[in-house]
Amino acid sequence: MEAFTYKYPVQVYFGEQAAARSLPKELERIGQNVLLAYGGGSIKKNGVYDELRSILQNAGKTVTEFSGIMPNPTYAKVQQGAALAREHGIDFILAVGGGSVIDCCKIISAQAKLDADIWDFEYAQHGSPTDFIPMGAVVTAFGTGAEMNNGAVITNEEKKQKSPLWGAFYDFAILDPVYTMTMPMLQVMSGAFDSLSHCMEEYMGTPRTGNLTDELNEATQRSIIRNIRATLQTPQDKNVRSELMWAAAVAENGMLKIGKTTDFQCHMLEHQLGAYTDCNHGQGLAVLHPALYRRYLPEAAPQFARLATEVWGVDPNGKTEKELAEAFLNALSAFIREAGLPTALSEMGIPEDTDYAAIARSTIRTGGCIKKFDDQYLIDVLKECI
């Protein structure tokens, strides 16, 4: 295991009625001016907006709204939010939504306190922001685990780059599974698959020999797979939804990264696919993972074989390591179909003439990946997925 430092700063309130139980107390500790940030309006349809507005009103807060944060949030939207936060002297940001709203607010919180353009500050000057507007997250779409970490994935449309930026950790996160019950089923599946992908990306990093972190990871993957299947059987089961929501948080709270350099190469490729096509994150991963992982062979055979037996329940009797690794790849592909997720870019409406060469060229290569992919390798992966 590699050396590590681990500190966990986010207070988590989990379960039904979590907002009613926790938010009034949290609001006592914060300043007067609150930025209420949300997406395209799902919270107005399912009652979450009304509930939160009334808690804010009872606390006597002055509320400024920042709405319309889109899936795959843009850098322009971050700048708009930061300008609004400055203009209204915002003391606290309450982010209500899925990964997109939660990510966008992490960077608004930093940019509002920073004179420099934060993209240049982080990428050109290699700076790390240290001053933030404090924030709370109310999760309405699970999967990314974005509420648990301080990384944000932002699409810079000018630069055609969807890349990580580093912002603040949330002071608290409210995870009420009931808030997620109105998610469309395809988004439930793409969120849950994103969580599974996070586990796999962490697992496939270095060291590759297996340790406590990997064993916790295997348990998390088994749980996600079991509960995706349970969701297919009983879509409105709140307990099943709770399990998926917490697994998503566990996959991104840093525990499964301890002592490892993670992989996340599939994520980097999918993010660039998103930069060029604005595609859905979890669905992009579902299409790319099998094709990319087939190219991890033969180097990754020991890890894939372990996944086959420990996660996917493949009987190892009479099988070589290579056969087990193949069995894992087959199980993963079959599961993606079973979950109703897309298996080709065309199923996601991505046109055949997309500039795959530009996507490959602009994809960040990760240190923990078992392979060093050149551009052509990634172009081939993308074209195979058409």
Q: Which stretches of the chain bind ligand NZQ, using CB under 6 A? A: 39-43, 46, 71-72, 97-101, 103, 140-141, 143-146, 149, 151-153, 179-180, 182-183, 187, 191, 194, 252, 267, 281-282
What is the nearest approach in angstroms of Zn ion to the Cβ of residue 198? Answer: 6
Which positions ≥6 away from 168 have C-beta within 8 Å? 106, 109, 110, 129, 132, 133, 134, 135, 150
Compare residues 73 and 290 and give the one whose CB is closer to ligand NZQ.
73
| Closer by beta carbon to Zn ion, 147 or else 194 | 194
Q: Which residues pair with 64 in a beta bridge?
A: 35
Binding partner of residue 140 among Zn ion, ligand NZQ, none, CB cut-off 5 to 8 Å per kind: ligand NZQ
Question: 103 vs 194, which CB is nearer to Zn ion?
Answer: 194
Q: Using CB distances below 5 to 8 A depending on partner kind, what does residue 143 bind out of Zn ion, ligand NZQ, none?
A: ligand NZQ
Q: Does 270 bind Zn ion (CB under 5 A)?
A: no
The residue length of the chain stands at 386
Cα–Cα distance measured from residue 220 to residue 196, given in angstroms and rounded to the nearest whole number: 8
**Nearest in space to 268 (alpha carbons), one of 162, 382, 172:** 162
* Nearest-approach distance from CB 86 to ligand NZQ, in angstroms: 24
Nearer to ligand NZQ, 167 or 290 (CB): 167
Nearest to 291 by CA among 313, 271, 269: 269
Provide, rounded to whole angstroms, the least separation between the CB of residue 54 and ligand NZQ.
18
- Give me the DSSP letters along 6-40: -----EEEESTTHHHHHHHHHHHTS-SEEEEEE-S
Going through 112-215 in order, the beta strands assigned E by DSSP cover: 135-139, 151-156, 161-166, 172-175
Nearest to residue 19, comparing CAs of 130, 96, 131? 96
The four Cα atoms 72, 74, 79, 83 give a dihedral, to 10 degrees, of: -50
| Shortest Å, Cβ 183 to ligand NZQ | 5
Stretch binding Zn ion (CB under 5 A), from 32-40, 62-70, 191-199, 251-259 = 191-199
Binding region for Zn ion (CB under 5 A) out of 9-17, 104-112, 194-202, 207-215: 194-202
103 binds Zn ion (CB under 5 A): no
Q: How far is the CB of 314 from Zn ion (least distance, A)?
A: 25
Q: Residue 129 touches which of ligand NZQ, Zn ion, none (CB < 5 to 8 A by kind)?
A: none
> Could you tell me the two tokens for 361?
């060229």
- The helix (run of H) or strand (run of E) holding residue 63 is strand 62-66
Shortest Cβ distance from residue 60 to ligand NZQ (Å)? 27
Contacted by 191, from ligand NZQ, Zn ion, none: CB < 5 to 8 Å by type = ligand NZQ
Is residue 194 near Zn ion by the rule CB under 5 A?
A: yes
Shortest Å, Cβ 103 to ligand NZQ: 5
By Cβ distance, which residue is nearest to Zn ion? 194
Three-state DSSP state, 173: strand
Q: How far apart are CA 307 and CA 297, in angstroms?
A: 14
> Can you give the binding site for Zn ion, defined by CB under 5 A?
194
